[in-house]
Amino acid sequence: MTNAALQFQDGDRLGRVAAVDTSRVLISVENHQHMTTIAVGNLIAIQGRTAAEFLIGIVERATRSVSEKLLLDETADDGSIPLGESQEDLIKAVLIGTYRTVDGSSSNTFKRGADCFPQVDRDCFHVNSKNLQQFMNLLSMKVKEGERLTLGHFMADQTAIAVANGDKFFQRHAAILGSTGSGKSWAVALMLERAAALKSANLIVLDMHGEYSTLCDGPNAIAQQYRIAGPGDLDKPDDGCLFLPYWLLNREEMLALILDRSDDNAPNQAARFTEHVRSLKEKVLSDSKKAEVLATFTVDSPIPYPLNGMIECLKKDNVGRVPGAKEGTDKEGPWFNKLTRFITRMETKVSDKRVGFMFQPPAMCSEYGWLEKMLGSLFSVSDAQRGIKIIDFSEVPSDVLPIVTGVLARLLYSIQFWMDKDSRHPLTIICDEAHLYLPVRDSAEAAEKRALESFERIAKEGRKYGVSLLVVSQRPSDVSRTILSQCNNFLVLRLTNDQDQSVVKRLMPESMGGITDILPLLDLGEGLLLGDSILLPTRIKLDKPKIEPASATRQFWTDWATQTPKPDAVSKAVEALRRQVR
């Protein structure tokens, strides 16, 4: 038994179990000296059914009460019973796992969950110093070589490396949550860096502020940069520019952008639009002799069609006349004047340069073969650098952001869905600043609902097709509950807001509630990792990424003290604002 990870001496003994309920134990501390070293979050071990078994718990509360009582064992000189001070130390702990020094043929095993409830009067020990180090190392060693995702160090023992199970972390969706400036973007950069070391990682980052572009520059670049084309890119797009032409939007998404549901004629407008999309797509398919596609395509199939053709058809409807009852006369057609506002809204969108990446794409984007080239590069994993794709959304106007992210997510998911089972390569979509486009359903607008549908579908069904989400947000209370509740792993950094904390608490199993109390107290880059990727919910100090994202917190006071702003900075910014080019 000399290689057992936990080996307790008499001095490690805390006391004994005083009370037990389903997941918590109350320990009466007899070794009062230990009480001064016990802290919330420490580990304790309780002797299990055999000498080789210990139940592991996390300290939730430690209390000391001092009271006066009669010292029954003593008698004073005058024969009376003296009054003395009595001290009672109690520790409340949550049971989280079972450790065995030997378990059948294997040794040093740890599993989640208490296999049995401890009995009253069982011995309890403080897991500290060498025991703690060995135990923490044991947790990391339990993750198999190929599945190791090294994140940093355990706070409980800074010499022990914190390793999560990478398979489990990415398999069934994860979330990184924390207040602004708590270190989420750095944590993402760290994970990308770890993934880049793998042979063919496949991650797509939806980067809302262009923070991760640093990871794509220079000789040590680990990622490939893409950018949703801004107004300044429409004339001469470079290689990294990404267009999402209107014909990729399905009927619902397009209508969410253009249709005004409060218009009396909305049903007519939607119906005509749908009809024309179908016939325009049909014409393109028959012109290009795609008989197979023609036989089974639907109105939502991503097939390029001419937008000016659509506007022409709508205009024709809008002025169309039909033969009247009397021979030789005509009367207003069924859509006469009913589409005017719809057409205007569409024309406004088409001429708006801010959404030029959708409505003014270069001619090549209307070619039938363009889509496979575009998606081919997003799915490419030919080397580590290409496997991590960063898509900069910083120039996308916020009102269309949900639709745009939703369309992209839907496309990526659909490709995995329709791909041969054996050809699927797992893909993770990292949704940075998710509260911006994955809002809680009640407060979602029509356009946001469409985006939610795409992402919620991935959250619910993505696992089967090898697509997972990593949701990153500073406002968990504003992020779709459906998506968060599908996440199996949470890296929670400092979280100060009350509402956000309670959302996180509600996502945890009831017994873990107490552990989340430390969330507002965490330091920069320090987080709690909870979920099935790690055996024990643990507080981790995350490593710094080698390449930092461009999200540096500005040093206000120092900058004010030391820097002089450039004189033409404002006038340049005003011109950039006018031109909508950075």
Ligand X SMILES: Nc1ncnc2c1ncn2[C@@H]1O[C@H](COP(=O)(O)OP(=O)(O)OP(=O)(O)O)[C@@H](O)[C@H]1O
Give the footprint of Mg ion on this chain (CB under 5 A). Answer: 184-185
In angstroms, give the least distance from the CB of 551 to ligand X. 3
**Cα(first)–Cα(last) distance of the chain, in Å?**
66
**Partner whose footprint covers residue 270, from ligand X, Mg ion, none (CB < 5 to 8 Å by kind):** none
Torsion angle of C-alpha atoms 310, 313, 314, 316, degrees rounded to 10: 160
In angstroms, give the least distance from the CB of 183 to Mg ion. 8
Query: Residue with the closest Cβ to ligand X?
Result: 525
In angstroms, give the least distance from the CB of 575 to ligand X. 28
User: Is the CB of 181 or the CB of 397 nearer to Mg ion?
Assistant: 181
What are the φ and ψ backbone dihedral angles of 549, each rounded to 5 degrees?
-70, 155
In angstroms, give the least distance from the CB of 525 to ligand X. 2
Q: What are the beta bridge partners of residue 526? A: 541
- # chain residues binding ligand X, by CB under 6 A: 16
**What b/e sequence results for 139-154 when a residue is b if at least 16 CB atoms lie within 10 Å of its CB, and e otherwise?**
bbeebeeeebbbbbbb
Of the candidate spans 139-147, 183-191, 223-231, 511-519, the one that interacts with ligand X by CB under 6 A turns out to be: 183-191
**Partner whose footprint covers residue 524, from ligand X, Mg ion, none (CB < 5 to 8 Å by kind):** ligand X
User: Is the CB of 16 or the CB of 184 nearer to ligand X?
Assistant: 184
Beta strands in 351-439, from DSSP E residues, in sequence order: 388-392, 427-431
- 66, 291, 295, 552: residue in contact with ligand X (rule CB under 6 A): 552
3-class secondary structure per residue, 269-293: HHHHHHHHHHHHHHHHHHHCCCHHH
Q: Verify binding: residue 551, ligand X, rule CB under 6 A.
A: yes
Could you tell me if 170 and 471 are in contact, meaning their C-beta atoms sit under 8 angstroms apart? Answer: no
User: Is the CB of 514 or the CB of 525 nearer to ligand X?
Assistant: 525
User: Is the CB of 1 or the CB of 552 nearer to ligand X?
Assistant: 552
- 525, 530, 535, 536: residue in contact with ligand X (rule CB under 6 A): 525
Of the candidate spans 120-128, 182-190, 300-308, 419-427, the one that interacts with ligand X by CB under 6 A turns out to be: 182-190
In angstroms, give the least distance from the CB of 389 to ligand X. 19
Q: Which residues contact residue 346 at a Cβ distance below 8 angstroms, ignoring those fewer than 6 apart?
A: 258, 310, 311, 314
Of the candidate spans 94-102, 104-112, 461-469, 546-554, the one that interacts with ligand X by CB under 6 A turns out to be: 546-554
How many angstroms separate the CA atoms of 434 and 489, rounded? 16
- 16, 100, 168, 184: residue in contact with ligand X (rule CB under 6 A): 184
Q: What are the beta bridge partners of residue 484? A: none
User: Is the CB of 4 or the CB of 156 nearer to ligand X?
Assistant: 156
Rounded (5°) CA angle 48-49-51: 75
**What b/e sequence results for 328-365 when a residue is b if at least 16 CB atoms lie within 10 Å of its CB, and e otherwise?**
eeeeebebeebbbbbbebbbebbeeebbbbbbbbbeeb
Residues 456-495 that bind ligand X (CB under 6 A): 474
In angstroms, give the least distance from the CB of 539 to ligand X. 13
In angstroms, give the least distance from the CB of 101 to Mg ion. 44
How many angstroms separate the CA atoms of 218 and 221, rounded? 5
Burial class (CB in 10 A: 0-12, 13-18, 19+), 75: exposed
| CB half-sphere exposure, 285, CA atoms < 13 A | 19
In angstroms, give the least distance from the CB of 388 to Mg ion. 17
Residues 149-178 that bind ligand X (CB under 6 A): 178
**Partner whose footprint covers residue 379, from Mg ion, ligand X, none (CB < 5 to 8 Å by kind):** none
User: Is the CB of 255 or the CB of 434 nearer to Mg ion?
Assistant: 434
In angstroms, give the least distance from the CB of 524 to ligand X. 4
CB atoms under 10 Å from CB of 423, counted, come to 7
Binding site for ligand X (CB under 6 A): 178, 180-186, 474, 524-525, 542, 544, 551-553
